[in-house]
Protein backbone atom coordinates (compact mmCIF):
# COMPACT_ATOMS: atom_id res chain seq x y z
CA UNK A 1 0.00 0.00 0.00
CA UNK A 2 1.34 3.47 -0.80
CA UNK A 3 0.32 6.76 0.73
CA UNK A 4 0.97 10.32 -0.36
CA UNK A 5 2.67 12.30 2.35
CA UNK A 6 3.04 16.05 2.67
CA UNK A 7 6.70 17.04 2.91
CA UNK A 8 7.88 18.89 6.00
CA UNK A 9 10.51 21.59 5.86
CA UNK A 10 12.73 20.82 8.86
CA UNK A 11 15.42 19.24 6.64
CA UNK A 12 14.67 21.15 3.43
CA UNK A 13 17.77 21.59 1.27
CA UNK A 14 19.66 18.83 3.11
CA UNK A 15 21.10 15.72 1.48
CA UNK A 16 21.16 12.50 3.49
CA UNK A 17 22.84 9.13 3.07
CA UNK A 18 21.23 6.26 5.01
CA UNK A 19 22.98 2.90 4.85
CA UNK A 20 20.99 -0.36 4.90
CA UNK A 21 17.88 1.64 4.05
CA UNK A 22 15.80 -0.84 2.04
CA UNK A 23 14.14 -2.46 5.05
CA UNK A 24 13.53 -2.16 8.78
CA UNK A 25 14.86 0.75 10.83
CA UNK A 26 16.99 2.16 7.99
CA UNK A 27 14.02 2.30 5.64
CA UNK A 28 11.87 4.02 8.30
CA UNK A 29 14.66 6.56 8.90
CA UNK A 30 15.14 7.23 5.17
CA UNK A 31 11.41 7.72 4.73
CA UNK A 32 11.15 10.09 7.69
CA UNK A 33 14.14 12.21 6.59
CA UNK A 34 12.50 12.43 3.16
CA UNK A 35 9.14 13.41 4.69
CA UNK A 36 10.95 16.12 6.63
CA UNK A 37 12.31 17.60 3.41
CA UNK A 38 15.70 15.93 2.83
CA UNK A 39 16.87 14.38 -0.41
CA UNK A 40 17.84 10.83 0.50
CA UNK A 41 20.28 8.33 -1.04
CA UNK A 42 18.92 4.84 -0.41
CA UNK A 43 21.38 1.94 -0.30
CA UNK A 44 21.85 -1.70 0.59
CA UNK A 45 23.56 -4.79 -0.86
CA UNK A 46 20.90 -6.02 -3.26
CA UNK A 47 19.99 -4.23 -6.48
CA UNK A 48 16.37 -5.39 -6.42
CA UNK A 49 15.90 -4.09 -2.87
CA UNK A 50 17.35 -0.70 -3.80
CA UNK A 51 15.26 -0.39 -6.97
CA UNK A 52 12.05 -1.50 -5.24
CA UNK A 53 12.55 0.90 -2.34
CA UNK A 54 13.33 3.87 -4.55
CA UNK A 55 10.24 3.19 -6.65
CA UNK A 56 8.05 2.84 -3.58
CA UNK A 57 9.34 6.02 -1.90
CA UNK A 58 9.07 8.05 -5.11
CA UNK A 59 5.42 7.00 -5.34
CA UNK A 60 5.08 8.67 -1.94
CA UNK A 61 6.46 11.91 -3.44
CA UNK A 62 9.80 11.63 -1.67
CA UNK A 63 12.98 12.91 -3.31
CA UNK A 64 15.16 9.79 -3.28
CA UNK A 65 17.76 8.04 -5.41
CA UNK A 66 19.44 4.70 -4.82
CA UNK A 67 22.68 2.83 -5.24
CA UNK A 68 24.12 -0.51 -4.19
CA UNK A 69 26.37 -0.39 -1.13
CA UNK A 70 27.62 -3.28 0.97
CA UNK A 71 29.14 -1.17 3.74
CA UNK A 72 31.96 -3.68 4.26
CA UNK A 73 33.29 -3.09 0.72
CA UNK A 74 35.49 -0.03 0.23
CA UNK A 75 34.59 0.35 -3.46
CA UNK A 76 30.88 0.36 -2.56
CA UNK A 77 31.42 3.02 0.13
CA UNK A 78 33.32 5.19 -2.35
CA UNK A 79 30.63 4.82 -4.99
CA UNK A 80 27.89 5.57 -2.43
CA UNK A 81 29.55 8.91 -1.72
CA UNK A 82 30.29 9.66 -5.38
CA UNK A 83 26.75 8.76 -6.50
CA UNK A 84 25.30 11.02 -3.81
CA UNK A 85 27.51 13.94 -4.86
CA UNK A 86 26.66 13.36 -8.52
CA UNK A 87 22.91 13.08 -7.91
CA UNK A 88 22.31 15.65 -5.17
CA UNK A 89 25.40 17.92 -5.26
CA UNK A 90 26.64 17.47 -1.67
CA UNK A 91 26.22 15.60 1.62
CA UNK A 92 24.84 17.04 4.89
CA UNK A 93 23.66 13.97 6.79
CA UNK A 94 25.00 10.43 7.25
CA UNK A 95 23.01 7.76 9.07
CA UNK A 96 25.25 4.70 9.51
CA UNK A 97 22.70 1.97 10.13
CA UNK A 98 24.06 -1.28 8.63
CA UNK A 99 25.01 -4.16 10.92
CA UNK A 100 25.78 -7.87 10.80
CA UNK A 101 25.30 -10.56 13.39
CA UNK A 102 26.27 -13.97 11.97
CA UNK A 103 26.45 -15.83 15.32
CA UNK A 104 24.27 -16.60 18.35
CA UNK A 105 25.69 -18.43 21.34
CA UNK A 106 28.28 -18.25 24.11
CA UNK A 107 30.89 -15.59 23.40
CA UNK A 108 33.83 -17.99 23.72
CA UNK A 109 32.44 -20.07 20.83
CA UNK A 110 32.90 -17.15 18.42
CA UNK A 111 35.33 -17.91 15.59
CA UNK A 112 37.92 -15.36 14.53
CA UNK A 113 36.18 -15.15 11.16
CA UNK A 114 32.80 -14.27 12.72
CA UNK A 115 34.45 -11.79 15.11
CA UNK A 116 36.18 -10.04 12.17
CA UNK A 117 32.99 -9.89 10.13
CA UNK A 118 31.02 -8.32 12.98
CA UNK A 119 33.67 -5.69 13.68
CA UNK A 120 34.34 -5.00 9.97
CA UNK A 121 30.68 -4.35 9.16
CA UNK A 122 29.46 -2.81 12.42
CA UNK A 123 32.39 -0.59 13.41
CA UNK A 124 35.20 -0.34 10.90
CA UNK A 125 32.93 0.39 7.94
CA UNK A 126 31.02 3.01 9.97
CA UNK A 127 34.29 4.78 10.77
CA UNK A 128 35.64 4.52 7.21
CA UNK A 129 32.39 5.82 5.73
CA UNK A 130 32.62 8.83 8.07
CA UNK A 131 36.17 9.50 6.85
CA UNK A 132 34.86 9.39 3.31
CA UNK A 133 31.91 11.72 4.00
CA UNK A 134 33.39 14.30 6.40
CA UNK A 135 35.39 16.32 3.81
CA UNK A 136 32.17 16.84 1.85
CA UNK A 137 30.30 18.00 4.96
CA UNK A 138 33.19 20.31 5.75
CA UNK A 139 32.92 21.75 2.25
CA UNK A 140 29.21 22.52 2.96
CA UNK A 141 30.13 24.21 6.27
CA UNK A 142 28.20 21.79 8.51
CA UNK A 143 26.96 18.24 8.89
CA UNK A 144 25.33 15.66 11.14
CA UNK A 145 26.16 11.98 11.60
CA UNK A 146 24.11 9.35 13.45
CA UNK A 147 25.36 5.84 14.21
CA UNK A 148 22.78 3.15 14.89
CA UNK A 149 23.91 1.18 17.94
CA UNK A 150 21.62 -0.90 20.21
CA UNK A 151 20.54 -1.16 23.84
CA UNK A 152 22.82 -4.24 24.00
CA UNK A 153 25.71 -1.79 23.62
CA UNK A 154 24.93 -0.85 27.25
CA UNK A 155 23.59 -4.20 28.48
CA UNK A 156 25.38 -6.96 26.52
CA UNK A 157 23.29 -9.91 25.38
CA UNK A 158 24.67 -13.26 26.56
CA UNK A 159 23.86 -14.87 23.20
CA UNK A 160 25.06 -11.97 21.05
CA UNK A 161 28.33 -11.10 22.81
CA UNK A 162 30.54 -9.87 19.93
CA UNK A 163 27.59 -8.01 18.35
CA UNK A 164 26.95 -6.31 21.72
CA UNK A 165 30.61 -5.30 22.04
CA UNK A 166 30.55 -3.85 18.51
CA UNK A 167 27.49 -1.80 19.52
CA UNK A 168 29.30 -0.57 22.66
CA UNK A 169 32.17 0.46 20.38
CA UNK A 170 29.78 2.60 18.32
CA UNK A 171 28.77 4.49 21.46
CA UNK A 172 32.51 5.02 22.10
CA UNK A 173 33.14 6.04 18.50
CA UNK A 174 30.41 8.67 18.83
CA UNK A 175 32.18 10.16 21.86
CA UNK A 176 35.64 9.80 20.32
CA UNK A 177 34.77 11.57 17.07
CA UNK A 178 32.66 14.39 18.45
CA UNK A 179 35.44 16.82 19.57
CA UNK A 180 37.34 16.77 16.28
CA UNK A 181 34.18 16.97 14.19
CA UNK A 182 32.78 19.81 16.34
CA UNK A 183 35.69 21.90 15.05
CA UNK A 184 34.26 21.38 11.56
CA UNK A 185 30.68 22.20 12.64
CA UNK A 186 29.72 18.53 12.29
CA UNK A 187 27.73 16.86 15.07
CA UNK A 188 27.89 13.11 15.69
CA UNK A 189 25.30 11.27 17.74
CA UNK A 190 24.01 7.76 18.19
CA UNK A 191 20.67 5.95 18.37
CA UNK A 192 20.36 2.86 20.56
CA UNK A 193 17.12 1.05 19.67
CA UNK A 194 15.50 -1.54 21.89
CA UNK A 195 13.63 -4.55 20.48
CA UNK A 196 12.17 -3.31 17.22
CA UNK A 197 9.95 -5.44 14.96
CA UNK A 198 12.16 -6.07 11.91
CA UNK A 199 13.47 -9.15 10.07
CA UNK A 200 16.74 -8.83 11.99
CA UNK A 201 14.97 -9.45 15.31
CA UNK A 202 12.02 -11.61 14.25
CA UNK A 203 13.07 -14.64 16.30
CA UNK A 204 12.55 -12.43 19.35
CA UNK A 205 9.06 -11.09 18.55
CA UNK A 206 7.34 -13.39 16.00
CA UNK A 207 5.80 -15.81 18.51
CA UNK A 208 5.37 -13.70 21.63
CA UNK A 209 3.54 -16.48 23.50
CA UNK A 210 6.61 -18.67 23.97
CA UNK A 211 8.49 -18.35 27.26
CA UNK A 212 11.60 -17.04 25.57
CA UNK A 213 9.82 -14.10 23.94
CA UNK A 214 7.68 -13.46 27.01
CA UNK A 215 10.87 -12.94 29.05
CA UNK A 216 11.95 -10.24 26.62
CA UNK A 217 8.54 -8.58 26.73
CA UNK A 218 8.56 -8.60 30.51
CA UNK A 219 11.87 -6.71 30.49
CA UNK A 220 10.26 -3.82 28.58
CA UNK A 221 8.47 -1.20 30.72
CA UNK A 222 5.90 -0.61 27.95
CA UNK A 223 5.36 -4.38 27.49
CA UNK A 224 5.51 -4.26 23.70
CA UNK A 225 8.12 -4.39 20.93
CA UNK A 226 8.82 -1.19 19.01
CA UNK A 227 8.02 -0.33 15.39
CA UNK A 228 10.79 0.91 13.04
CA UNK A 229 8.92 4.22 12.66
CA UNK A 230 9.31 4.80 16.40
CA UNK A 231 13.07 5.16 15.86
CA UNK A 232 12.92 7.50 12.90
CA UNK A 233 11.70 10.72 14.53
CA UNK A 234 14.61 10.63 16.98
CA UNK A 235 17.09 10.45 14.09
CA UNK A 236 15.32 13.26 12.23
CA UNK A 237 15.57 15.34 15.42
CA UNK A 238 19.27 14.54 15.94
CA UNK A 239 20.24 15.61 12.41
CA UNK A 240 18.10 18.78 12.51
CA UNK A 241 18.87 22.25 13.86
CA UNK A 242 16.63 21.44 16.86
CA UNK A 243 19.63 19.38 18.08
CA UNK A 244 22.20 22.11 17.29
CA UNK A 245 23.80 21.85 20.77
CA UNK A 246 23.80 18.03 20.97
CA UNK A 247 26.88 16.05 20.01
CA UNK A 248 28.61 12.91 21.30
CA UNK A 249 25.31 11.63 22.74
CA UNK A 250 23.43 8.34 22.50
CA UNK A 251 19.63 8.26 22.75
CA UNK A 252 17.94 5.02 23.80
CA UNK A 253 14.60 4.26 22.13
CA UNK A 254 13.53 1.09 23.93
CA UNK A 255 10.08 1.45 25.48
CA UNK A 256 11.87 1.40 28.82
CA UNK A 257 14.33 -1.51 28.75
CA UNK A 258 16.65 -1.11 31.76
CA UNK A 259 19.92 -0.47 29.89
CA UNK A 260 21.45 2.41 31.89
CA UNK A 261 20.41 4.95 34.52
P1 LIG B 1 16.64 -5.39 9.01
O2 LIG B 1 15.21 -5.05 9.12
O3 LIG B 1 17.01 -6.81 8.94
O4 LIG B 1 17.18 -4.59 7.73
C5 LIG B 1 18.34 -4.93 7.19
C6 LIG B 1 18.69 -3.91 6.08
O7 LIG B 1 20.09 -3.89 6.01
C8 LIG B 1 18.18 -4.30 4.72
O9 LIG B 1 17.89 -3.12 4.00
C10 LIG B 1 19.40 -5.01 4.10
O11 LIG B 1 19.29 -4.95 2.68
C12 LIG B 1 20.51 -4.15 4.68
N13 LIG B 1 21.85 -4.73 4.86
C14 LIG B 1 22.18 -5.88 5.50
N15 LIG B 1 23.51 -6.04 5.50
C16 LIG B 1 24.05 -4.97 4.87
C17 LIG B 1 25.37 -4.55 4.57
N18 LIG B 1 26.44 -5.30 4.90
N19 LIG B 1 25.56 -3.38 3.90
C20 LIG B 1 24.50 -2.63 3.55
N21 LIG B 1 23.22 -2.96 3.82
C22 LIG B 1 23.00 -4.12 4.45
O23 LIG B 1 17.51 -4.78 10.23
P24 LIG B 1 17.10 -3.72 11.37
O25 LIG B 1 16.54 -4.45 12.50
O26 LIG B 1 16.34 -2.59 10.76
O27 LIG B 1 18.54 -3.22 11.84
C28 LIG B 1 19.04 -1.94 11.49
C29 LIG B 1 20.02 -1.48 12.54
O30 LIG B 1 19.37 -1.40 13.80
C31 LIG B 1 21.22 -2.41 12.75
O32 LIG B 1 22.37 -1.62 13.00
C33 LIG B 1 20.85 -3.18 14.00
O34 LIG B 1 21.99 -3.64 14.69
C35 LIG B 1 20.12 -2.09 14.77
N36 LIG B 1 19.25 -2.58 15.83
C37 LIG B 1 18.15 -3.33 15.54
C38 LIG B 1 17.32 -3.75 16.57
C39 LIG B 1 16.06 -4.56 16.34
O40 LIG B 1 15.44 -5.01 17.34
N41 LIG B 1 15.63 -4.74 15.10
C42 LIG B 1 17.63 -3.41 17.90
C43 LIG B 1 18.76 -2.66 18.15
C44 LIG B 1 19.55 -2.24 17.10
P45 LIG B 1 20.12 -5.92 1.69
O46 LIG B 1 19.75 -7.34 2.04
O47 LIG B 1 19.68 -5.50 0.31
O48 LIG B 1 21.56 -5.60 1.95
pLDDT in tens, 21-32: 999 999 999 999
How far, CA to CA in Å, does 158 sit from each of 49, 92, 136, 155, 163?
Answer: 32, 37, 40, 9, 10
Domains of the chain by start residue, with CATH? 15-195+229-253 (3.40.50.720)
Half-sphere exposure of 228 (CA within 13 A, CB side): 19
Average pLDDT estimate for 120-139:
98
Pocket of ligand 1 (CB under 6 A): 19-20, 22-26, 44-46, 49, 69-72, 97-100, 121, 148, 150, 193, 195-196, 198-201
pLDDT for 160-169, tens place per residue?
999 999 999 9
Residue 214: its pLDDT value, please?
A: 85
Distance, in Å, from the CA atom of 133 to the CA atom of 81, rounded to the nearest integer, reads 7
Residue 212: its pLDDT value, please?
A: 75
**Residue 229 and residue 198 in contact, taking contact as beta carbons nearer than 8 Å:** no
Residue 6: its pLDDT value, please?
A: 53
- For residue 126, the CA-to-ligand 1 centroid distance in Å is 13
Distance, in Å, from the CA atom of 172 to the CA atom of 159, rounded to the nearest integer, reads 22
- For residue 97, the CA-to-ligand 1 centroid distance in Å is 7
What is the percent of the chain with per-residue pLDDT over 70, rounded to a whole number?
Answer: 97
Ligand 1, pocket-test mutation among 68, 99, 121, 254, most atoms within 8 A of CB: 99
Ligand 1, pocket-test mutation among 98, 122, 167, 217, most atoms within 8 A of CB: 98
Distance, in Å, from the CA atom of 261 to the CA atom of 243, rounded to the nearest integer, reads 22
pLDDT(129) > 60: yes
- For residue 20, the CA-to-ligand 1 centroid distance in Å is 6
Q: pTM to 2 decimals?
A: 0.97
pLDDT(211) > 80: no
- For residue 148, the CA-to-ligand 1 centroid distance in Å is 10
User: Which ligand 1 atom is nearest residue 167's CA?
Assistant: 34
Ligand 1, pocket-test mutation among 21, 44, 68, 73, most atoms within 8 A of CB: 44
Residue 167: phi and psi, rounded to 5, are -75, -35
pLDDT(150) > 60: yes
Strands 39-44 and 143-148: unpaired
183 CB-near residues (< 8 Å, 6+ apart): none
pLDDT(207) > 60: yes
**Residue 35 and residue 104 in contact, taking contact as beta carbons nearer than 8 Å:** no
pLDDT(208) > 70: no
- For residue 183, the CA-to-ligand 1 centroid distance in Å is 31
**Which residue, judged by its Cα, is nearest atom 2 of ligand 1?**
24
User: Which ligand 1 atom is nearest residue 45's CA?
Assistant: 48
pLDDT(5) > 50: no
User: Which ligand 1 atom is nearest residue 121's CA?
Assistant: 18
Edge to edge, what strands does the sheet with 186-193 contain? 64-68, 39-44, 15-18, 93-96, 143-148, 186-193, 250-253
- For residue 141, the CA-to-ligand 1 centroid distance in Å is 30
pLDDT(182) > 50: yes
Residue 158: phi and psi, rounded to 5, are -65, -30
- Active site residues per annotation: 163
Amino acid sequence: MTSTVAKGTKLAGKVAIVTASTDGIGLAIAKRLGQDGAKVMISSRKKEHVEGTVENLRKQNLDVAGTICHVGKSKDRESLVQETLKTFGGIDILVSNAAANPVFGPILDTSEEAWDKIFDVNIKSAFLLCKEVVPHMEARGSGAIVFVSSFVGYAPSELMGPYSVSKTALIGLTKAMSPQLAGMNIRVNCLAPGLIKTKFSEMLWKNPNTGFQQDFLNSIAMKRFGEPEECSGTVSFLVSDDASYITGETILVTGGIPARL
